[in-house]
Amino acid sequence: MRLINAQDQEVQPGMRLRVVEGKESGQAWTFSHVVEHPVDGHRVHVTRRHPRMGHVHREFHPRLFGLHVVIDMTWRQSARVRVHHIRTKVDDYILAGIFALIPLAVFEQFHLSEHMFEILGLGR
């Protein structure tokens, strides 16, 4: 993930950013890193000194600084992520199937399944 400014230049950690939107416009913050956010994509983690509270950490949407996030992912990385996702799903389904068969095996072992087969005429 890269943070890109309006001039299409990458923002490096430690650079000073100024808020361009909202009620806090004009405030200067020091860029730390980009954080993934579950609701709206990404947040920019920034810090600054405060006279009473010391070192303040905050996370803002990149739009407040006039920035946007670019995700660099090659087709190999994308394929590897998809294969890993499919593999974990298959493993989960196999494990669920095994857990579903255990009660069936216990039932057949302890509830006289051979006797049931003889009664139904499906004898061996």
- Residue-wise pLDDT tens digits, 33-57: 999 888 888 999 999 998 898 999 9
pLDDT number for residue 123: 55
* pLDDT digits 0-9 by tens, 61-110: 999 898 989 888 788 888 999 999 999 999 999 999 888 888 877 777 76
Sheet holding 16-18, edge to edge: 16-18, 28-37, 41-50, 54-60
Q: Which two tokens stand for residue 2?
A: 């890269």
pTM exceeds 0.85 for this model: no
Q: Apex CA 3: angle with CA 47 and CA 80, to 5°?
A: 120
List CB contacts of 70: < 8 A, sequence separation 6 or more. 1, 2, 3, 4
| CA 73/CA 78 separation, integer angstroms | 7
pLDDT number for residue 113: 65
